[in-house]
Every structure is written in C-alpha cells, then in structure tokens.
Structure 1
Amino acid sequence: MRKLTIAAMGIAAVLMGASNVAASAAPPPPLIPDGATGSISVHKYAQPTRYIADNQGMQLPPGDLEGLAPLEGAKFTIEQVAGIDLKTNAGWKKAQSLVDTFDPFNPGAITQNGHGLVNKKEATTNASGLASFKSLPVGLYLVQESQAPTVPANSAVTKSMPFLISVPLTDPQDRQNWVFDVHAYPKNTISRVTKTVNDGSAYALGQAIRFTIDSTIPGGSATTKYVVKDHLDPKLTYRSTTVTIDGQATTDFNATHDKGLVTVTLGATARKAAFDALVGNPNAKVSVTHEAIVAASGEISNQAELTFQREGEPETEVPSTVIETKFGGINVLKHNREGKFLSGAIFEVRASHTKDFATATAVSVNGKSQWATGADGRVTVDGLRYSNWANGATVAEGSPDYNFYWLVEKQAPVGYELLPEPIPFTVTAPVASAATVDVVNSPHNAGGELPKTGAEGSAALLVGGLALIGIGGGALMLSRSRRNSDKA
C-alpha cells in the first residue's frame, strides 16, 4: 500500500506538472496591452482610372500600386479624439457611434458632439507620397489633408476627404490579432484644364474664331457634376458651342450665355460616357468649343474653369490657361513732298499668309473695306489681327498663320498720281501705339508741264497772227498808194 501510495503521488505530481506546462504554453488572450503604441501611414497617389480597392488598414502590395504617381508635398494633420478608450468595449461602442454620425464635410462637428481633439501632429508626404505618424497612443484619430501638394499651373488636386481611423485595427486576414501599424490610401485627383484659340485663318474683325477648353476626366468614379464656364471678353460676340468626349461628339449638354459668361453643363449620359472613355483611354478629355465673332479691336484675354464633383466628395474648381487673341492696326499719314497733307486718298487693305502679293485678298473689317484720308491727311485702319500673333502664341514669317498686309491706293487725291505699287506693312500693336505708315504722293505728271493746245495760248497766237496780217496789209496798201502817186 505504501508503494502504491508513493506511485500515485508520483503520477499526480507528473500530471500536475503537465497541467502547469499546458497552462504556460497557451496563447495570451488578444487584448490591447497597456502602454501600447502604433502608427498611421498616409499614402498620397494621383487617382488612377478606378478607385483603389479597400485595403482595410493594411499596407497594399507593390503590385497593386504599379503605375501610380506618388504626390510629394501634401500636408496631413492628425488629432486624437479625446474620451474614447479603445482598450475597453465601451470605448469601441463610442467610436462606432461617432463614426456613424461623422460628416466629412464638417469634421469640426466632432467637438460639437462633446469630443475634444488632442495630440495634434503634422506630416508632409515625401517623394514616395508617404506621410508617417509614429509612436501614437491607442485611440481614434481624425485625419485631414491640410495642404494639397504642389501641381503644375492650371491644375488642381482634389483634396482627400477627412476620415477617422483607429489605432489599432483587427487584422482582416488573421482575425485573432491586432494591427498597430495602419495604412490609409485616400482618394486624390489631379485635374488640368487647357484653353486654346484658333484664329490663325482670321485677318480682321467680323470673322469667326474658335476657343476650345480641354479638361481632364476625373478618375475613380463617374462625376455627379461637370460644368465648364468660359468668361468671354466683351469684345467677342458668342455664336455657338459644341462638345466632344474623347473626340466623339455629344449632345447631352446644356449651354447658356449671359453677358459673356458661357456655362456648359454635362448631362448624366455624357458624364458616364466621359468616365467610360477614361477607362479605355487614360488620356481622354472633354473638349468644349465655342465659336465667337471678334467685334472690337484689342488684346483680348480669356480664361475658363472646370467645376466637378464625385459622390461623397467636395466640388473641385480648376482654372484654365489664359489665352489671348490680338487685333490692332496702323495709322496712315498722306502728304506730298513739301509736307502738305492730302485728303481724299482712298485705300484698301489686302492680306495673305504668304509674302507674295499675288496671293493677297481684299480685307473687310466689320463690313468696311475702304479707308479715306481726312483734311489732316490721316486715316486709321483698325481691327486687323496681329501679323506675328496667332492661335495664342508668337509666330514668325514663314509660319502658315503669319499675316502679311499691304496698303493699296484705290483713288488718288486731286492733282496727284496713284501709287503704282502696294505698300507692305505689319500689325504688331493696338492702334493707339501703332506705327505710322508715311505715304508720299507725287503730283500729276510728277509736277512737269505738258504742251498746251487751244485755250489762252492759241488765242494769243491767233491775235498775234491777225496783228501781223493787219500790219502787213497796211504796209501793202501804203506801198501801192505811193506807186500811184509817183505815176501821176
């Protein structure tokens, strides 16, 4: 019995030891330890055609980010929501309640609901598009993009919407563990608007020119609003609008014109077509073209803007490039060699895109095709497109859009000769500061006297001849009288 008791005691000891080993080998419960810290990594990329899939707080593999452009210089701010302890079940319930009522369009409402914001930190995205916040206490955080990254002129970035994120998160794959280093990939869009003018074929006022606004199509999802506004200069008279999406015409738009402001709003069908076009072609654009008549001379500047919005996001406004079309003229001074001003000279203007006058055609400026000098010998020809400026840029001789001009005298002043050849000139400034074309006329027959027949000269010769005849007749009669006297 004694041996059996000892054996039983030994077995019990072994079993107790085994039990202790099993207890010590069991995994700890998945609880958040006191003093735990984590991190938030915000990744800023230009938005691809479609939104990145929900990463559930995990870092995405490199393959999912292939081809995306990181955005450097975006500043993010994080603040911890006070009064929410995520180490407790009650804290998670508070977090859920706050998330349910969170309005990204009014993130400041958090404080209006009795929650403070503490532990504010800022970080700016680096060349990889990453802004990191480390050593964060466990808690719920408000993340906001406080400053958009720098982008090229006439571009805009749609800031990412404010969002709430917790540290830590449950691992979505291994749901028995917490993830203390969480990652966020907020939506971002870079949009660009370019405005161009097509006036290269125009010579003068009264001719139609076209303005085109090319705007990029936001990725991610179809827009709920897409509006292009164009502020036409008062010197332009609006005529019509057309719209194309990736080169294909659409009629699903509304164009209004009010005191120079042309507003073009795409309909739902056109907005969907735009997004579908982007999926097939990442360079697809919406092109809005206005036709207008240039009604007054001057250096005419114009700018447009795009306003778009996607569901659940704020409106984004993108200004276009500023484009110019330029119309000016020349001043003409007509006089003779002695400086006397000559009125009544009538000119016409001819123009060509080549330097060969034989190719030139007569120019009409708002219906006017002839210009006459006044008593001061002056006349102004205004409303001609600059010779060296076309389609919004400087052009040089040899360009197919360069304008060559000539003055042609159609009627000479009284007592003066017509000009035998045209006078070339260029237009490079408004009339107020334009050069003066000095035109000298020669008098009739270059000022020389022509032989005269009839009139005063002929009468004088006739009178002189008759006088001579009279003198000769008297002499003859006198001679005869003397001879008769001698015979007597």
Structure 2
Amino acid sequence: MAEFKHTRGKRVLSGLGAVTLAAAGLFGGAGAAMADQGDAVGNIDVARLGSIQINKHKHQNGTDATQKPDGSGDAITSDGIAGVEFTAYQLTDIKLDTTEGWNNLVDIDLSKACTSTPDLALGDPKVAPLTDSKGITTLTGLKLGAYVICETAAPAEVVDRALPFLVTIPTPFENSWLYDVNVYPKNGTTGITKSIDPQSDLGLGGIVNFPVTVDVPKTKSGEIMTRFEVTDTFDSRLGLNGTGVASVKLDGAAVNPAYYTVSNEDQTVKVTFNEDGRQWLKTQGEKKVVVTFSAVVKEVGKIENDAEAFINTPGHDGKVESNDVTTNWGDLIALKTAKGTNAALEGAEFQIFAAEAPYADTCEGAIATGKALTVNGATTFTSGKNGVVDIAGLYVSDSVNDKKDATQRCYVLTETKAPAGFVTPTGDNANTPVAVKIGANEVGVYDATIVNSQQDVPELPLTGANGQILMVIGGTAVLLVAGGLVIVSRRRAAREETK
C-alpha cells in the first residue's frame, strides 16, 4: 500500500464532518430504514453501480451546509483547486447488504485510514483523475459498499489537506437512496506572488523594493501552522538595504514585530513567524501577508529574483515558489573631445537627469526633468585622461511596471563645466540626450560623443602678410620724409653760396 503524508484523523463522525453530507446525515435513520424496508425509502438496489463526485475547493466561510450530497444547494463561492489526487478504498469487512454492516459504520476509526498502517480492511486502491480547473473529479463504477476517501497528492500551495472521510454507495438522502454522491472536502491553501515597486532611485546604488504577497491558509479547528516563513535570496548584483526587509504587513496594516524575526545569511533574507505569530495568523485565514524585501543595486544587467514561502501544517511540509521578477540596469559611457581634432579632453564635468518621456521611440530631443540623479553617491561625473565619462549604472526597466522590460531608457547628460581653455556650453547646447541600454557597454562603445570648442582670445600683433604691407608703407613714408629733408638741406646750402 502506498505511503501517505496525512497522519491526522478522527473517528468516522469527525471524518464525515470534513465533507458536506450533513444535509442528510450519513447515519441518521439508516438503521431504521433498513429495519423497515417497506417504507417510502424502498429497498437498496444491490446491483446498481454508483459514483462519488469530489468537489475540491478552498475553505469557505460558513456556507458548507448549503451544499448537498445530490449536488444541489447554493453555488460554491470559493475557488476550485486543480491537480488534487484522491484515492478510494472499499472497506471489505463492511457489508451494506446487511443491517449489521450499516450499524458497524459508527465504530470505524479513520485516524490511520490514509497512512501506511491503516488498521482497516481496505480493498484495492481506486485512484480518481486529478481534479480539473473547477476542482472536480469523479470516481465511477462503484459497487455497493463503504469507501474511505484519501487525499493522496496535491499541489504545493495546498497546506491543509482534507482528513480521510467515508462515503457509502448508496447514501441515504431525503427519504431516498442516492447512488451518485457529491462530497465537498475543503483545503487550506496558500499562494505567493512577487512584484516590484515603481522605481524611484534611478542611479546605481539605489534601492529596489520587492513586495512578496503570501496568502494565509485557513486551517482546521485545533490545528496551527508549525512553520510560516517567507524568504528571498538576492542575486549577487544586489545587496541588503539594512536588514533586507522594509516592512511586514497584513492587509495593509503593519504586523506586530513581536510576531516574527528577520534574519539574513549571505544573500538570503528570512522573515520567520514565531509560535505567537502563527497562533495569530490562524485567526487571519484567507488574508494576505505582504513582506517587502529591500535591496541595493550594485551592478548593471538583467537581474532576476524570486521568493519562497515555507508553510507547514500537520501532515504537510510545504514550499511554494513565487513568480520571477526582473529589474534591468545599464551603464552610460560618453566621450569628451576637442572640436576639430577629436583629441580626448580631461576635466569636463557633467550631471545626469531623468527625461520627461523616458520611453519615447527616440531619445532625440529628450527634455531633462527633476534634480540631478545620484549614482553610487555622486552627482557630478568628470571625464578622465582618455576623455571618458563613466556613469556606472542607471535604471532601464523592470518586468512589472511600465514599460515592461523595455530595452532602453532616455536620460539627459548635462555639461556643467568645460576643461580649462574650452567653452562651457549653455542652455540647450549643454544638454545631450542619451539612450541607456541594459547591461554594460563594450570597450570603445560610447552612448554619446560630446565636443568642446576652444575659448576665443583678444587679437594678437602678428608678423604675417598684413604686417609686411604696413612695414613697407611705413618704410616708404620714412624714405620720402628723408628725401624731402635732403632736398631742403641742399637748397639752403645753395642759397648760402650765392650770397
């Protein structure tokens, strides 16, 4: 016989309480009906085959009694659970074609019925198909008899499996015999969903918050969860922000910190509810715990992340895994050169700004908005000797918020100070739109090349062509003056001689 995980059980009356047969009562009046076979109930058709339709749903809130074994009653309000396996075993020592067989049903102990040592005379297992998307499966071709139904497999999110229960073919119901019986065992289930808060810190070294929502299972009376833990193992490109947990809430309200502890080892952060916390969670069935994990982005790239919840109940040690989420980051590498020579310029200073339309089809004409961004603690970035301006990392996109998994995002690089001897641009001329892509740039690949012009200076005296013309003109004038003086001098000398 197969091994079963569920070890809890109760006597048959409690086991039957796990399913909705209460409307008729499996045993109420059964002995009397057999004793007086001439009443309106009529005799059992011992040759007729029957069926058991199992309707597997999450725990409901006080509506169980409205479902009836003939399938009538109010609509089931909770979600069906797919992928659950049930196995039926006929009690071979219970003969329902005798009065004694019916009377003996009340003394059956189901506490070990679904274990490897059932202490019951069980026939061969009859495995039902897995429940469908509506939580329904049917066992057919069942002969007259009493059947123990065991939940033998379930998805990981099912943390509170149904107790073993007993169904007879036929079942007494409203003064008749019901050969096709509906039962409604309930599950306590959990689920886990991971998300990403809209990104506000756009530079490397910024904080990314990952809210993880876990459904609190509704457990049976008297049972508590033996473990309720939510964990997140960060990618190596992420670091802890403080303890790694920003908040723990239930339906929007902060959970009492006395109910849980936060611990971390290497890249794994855990939120573990203690016994008091688990007792409190029992009163919060079907509500949602939201643990917001908080990380610092240390490197660029496509950074994937998921979370896990470990929720144990008696008979079930379970782990459920969340969906993956991704946060995407890329670096910005610009080159600063001199106009006309393309020589690298050292010492130019820049700031980086978000763009008003970060996911425009083209970043050309992007307009800066907000304050200068901080990247790894810096707001000013200076070109090195090779003219390279290296801005280590900027947010590009994520898998949750708009625009999901975009491959690039627009930013505006603003020059605030040119190197000595070069013109610092002003106004729009100082702004260079750039498209930042996911991941690191290859060596020699630049997101932008920014050119500076040399400063203008006052005109200097030169010895070029114009200077030569001036000197010729000046020399000619001197010669003419000198010649005139000679002529005047000679005329004076001639006059002196004639006197």
Query: TM-score if structure 2 supplies the norm length?
Result: 0.68
1:441 aligns with 2:443: no
Match 2:60 to one of 20, 44, 48: 48
How many residue pairs get aligned? The number is: 431
1:440-469 CA distance string (max 9 Å, x none): 333434xxx852259999999999999789
Matched residue, 1:367: 377
Q: How does 1:178-217 map to 2 (within 5 A)?
A: 184-217=183-216
Query: 1:416 is matched with which residue?
Result: 422
Which residue of 1 is the match for residue 249 of structure 2? 244
Shift of 1:123: 3.3
Structure 2: which amino acid aligns with 1:228? V
- Taking a change above 3 Å as real, the CA distance of residues 27 and 214 of structure 1, as seen in their structure-2 partners, is closer
Contact preservation (8 Å) 1:85, 1:91: no
Distance 1:43 1:316 in 2: 23
| Shift in Å, 1:262 | 0.9
CA shift in 2, pair 1:60/1:319, >3 Å: farther
State the AA in 2 paired with 1:392.
V
Q: Letter of the aligned partner of 1:318 in structure 2?
A: V
Q: CA deviation at 1:367?
A: 2.0
Deviation at 1:375, TM superposition (A): 4.7
Q: CA deviation at 1:261?
A: 0.9
C-alpha displacement of 1:264: 0.5
The change in CA–CA distance for 1:478 and 1:379 in structure 2 (over 3 A counts) is same
What CA deviation, in whole Å up to 9, does each residue of 1:315-374 have, x standing for no partner?
333222322222213221333454623221523223246369574322221123333334
Aligned equivalent of 1:393, options 390, 401, 409: 401
- Mean CA deviation greater in 123-132 or 86-95: 86-95
On the 8 A contact 1:406/1:423 being kept in 2, the answer is yes
Change (3 A) 1:467 1:202: same
Per-residue deviation at 1:34?
Answer: 7.9
Cα distance in 2 for partners of 1:50, 1:307 equals 28
Alignment check: 8 A CA contact 2:346 2:386 kept: no
Counterpart for residue 161 of structure 2:
160
Alpha-carbon spacing, 1:143–1:182, altered in 2? closer, same or farther (3 Å): farther
Partners of 2:143 and 2:131 lie apart in 1 by 18
Residue type of the alignment partner of 1:452: L
Q: Structure 1 residues 429, 339: closer, same or farther in 2, change over 3 A?
A: farther
Which residue pairs with 1:136 in the alignment?
Answer: 143
- Structure 2 residue corresponding to 1:320, chosen from 319, 322, 331: 322
What RMSD in Å do the two structures reach over aligned CA positions? 4.8
TM-superposed CA distance for 1:257, in Å, is 1.2
Distance 1:123 1:408, change over 3 A: closer
3-state SS, counterpart of residue 214 of structure 1: strand
Question: Closer, same or farther in 2 for the Cα pair 1:41/1:335, shift >3 Å?
Answer: same
**Residue type at the aligned position of 2:434:** F
Letter in 1 for 2:436: V
How much does 1:305 deviate? 1.7
CA distance in structure 2 between the aligned counterparts of 1:444 and 1:394, rounded to whole angstroms: 44
Distance (whole Å) between structure 2 residues aligned to residue 484 and residue 478 of structure 1? 10
Matched to 2:250, the amino acid is I
- Mapped pair 1:451 → 2:459: yes
Larger mean Cα displacement after TM superposition, 343-352 or 128-137: 128-137
Rounded to whole Å, the distance in 1 between the matches of 2:173 and 2:452 is: 94
Task: Report if the CA contact (8 A) 1:199-1:325 is conserved.
Answer: no
Query: How far 1:38 sits from its partner (Å)?
Result: 5.3
Alignment equivalent of 1:288, drawn from 271, 287, 291: 291
Structure-2 change in CA distance of 1:36 and 1:139 (3 Å):
farther
The alpha carbon displacement at 1:255 in A equals: 0.8
Amino acid at match of 2:253: Q
Structure 1 residues 255, 363: CA separation in 2 closer, same or farther (over 3 Å shift)?
same
User: Counterpart amino acid of 2:207?
Assistant: A
Are 1:85 and 2:85 an aligned pair? no
Bigger helix share: 1
> Structure 2 counterpart of 1:44, which letter?
K
Shift of 1:67: 2.1
What amino acid maps onto 1:193 in structure 2?
Answer: I
The percentage of counterpart residues that share the same residue type is: 21
Which SS does the other structure have where 2:283 is aligned? Answer: helix
Matched, 1:254 2:274: no
2:393 is the counterpart of 1:383? yes
For structure 1, which segment, 226-235 or 465-474, has the greater mean C-alpha deviation from structure 2 after superposition? 465-474
Which of 408, 412, 417 is the equivalent residue of 1:406? 412
Q: What is the alpha-carbon distance in structure 2 between the residues aligned to residue 235 and residue 440 of structure 1? A: 34
Q: Does the 8 A contact of 2:262 with 2:271 survive in 1?
A: yes
Relative to the length of structure 1, the TM-score reads 0.70
1:272 deviates by 4.2
1:63-78 matched pairs, under 5 angstroms: 63=73, 66-71=76-81, 74-78=84-88
- Assess, with a 3 A threshold, how the Cα gap between structure 1 residues 164 and 108 changes in structure 2: closer, same or farther: farther
Letter in 2 for 1:254: T
For 2:306, the equivalent position in structure 1 comes to 303
| Alpha-carbon separation, structure 2, partners of 1:430 and 1:67 | 47
The more displaced of 452-461 and 116-125 is: 452-461
User: Does residue 429 of the first structure (1) align with residue 441 of the second (2)?
Assistant: no
Q: 1:246 to 1:443 in 2, by over 3 A?
A: same
Structure 2 Cα separation of the partners of residues 63 and 35 of structure 1: 29
Output the CA distance in 2 between the equivalents of 1:216 and 1:255. Answer: 19
Distance, in Å, in 2 between the alignment partners of 1:209 and 1:125 is 39
The corresponding residue for 1:118 is 124
Q: Would you say the 8 A contact 1:51–1:219 is kept in 2? A: no
Question: Which one of the candidate residues 234, 237, 243 is aligned to 2:236?
Answer: 234
Matched to 1:416, the amino acid is: F
